Amino acid sequence: MSHVVTEPCVKCRYTDCVAVCPVDCFHEDPEMLVIDPEVCIDCGACIPECPVQAIFPEEDVPGQWKNYIQLNAQKAKNLPVITEKKEPLVKK
């Protein structure tokens, strides 16, 4: 199992989670972060660090955000890895 970044991260993109990830599984696009399920070791360190509660274990992703499981897997393949905390985007 992996962890999944969901809708609350869109146009928010806090990176507190990135700073605690021991395996560099986070990738970033212009609006959000995603987790590479091939790299995530399911440690859960990122969950309490997310101030908008956007990260879930794959089996616990709420129904309305299940599409983010596949979205994370697809996007992570083509996006750069992020390993350092950055300023978040402004929530609109």
Question: CA-CA distance, 50 to 31, in Å (whole number)?
Answer: 15
Question: CA-CA distance, 12 to 10, in Å (whole number)?
Answer: 5
- What type of residue is 62? P
pTM of the model: 0.94
Q: Per-residue confidence at 4, pLDDT binned at 50, 70, 90?
A: very high
Domains in the chain: ranges and CATH: 3-76 (3.30.70.20)
Question: CA-CA distance, 58 to 2, in Å (whole number)?
Answer: 6
Cβ–Cβ under 8 Å, residues 17 and 50: yes
Question: CA-CA distance, 13 to 28, in Å (whole number)?
Answer: 8
Kindly report, residue by residue over 60-79, the tens digit of the pLDDT. 999 999 999 999 999 999 99
Determine the pLDDT at residue 26: 98
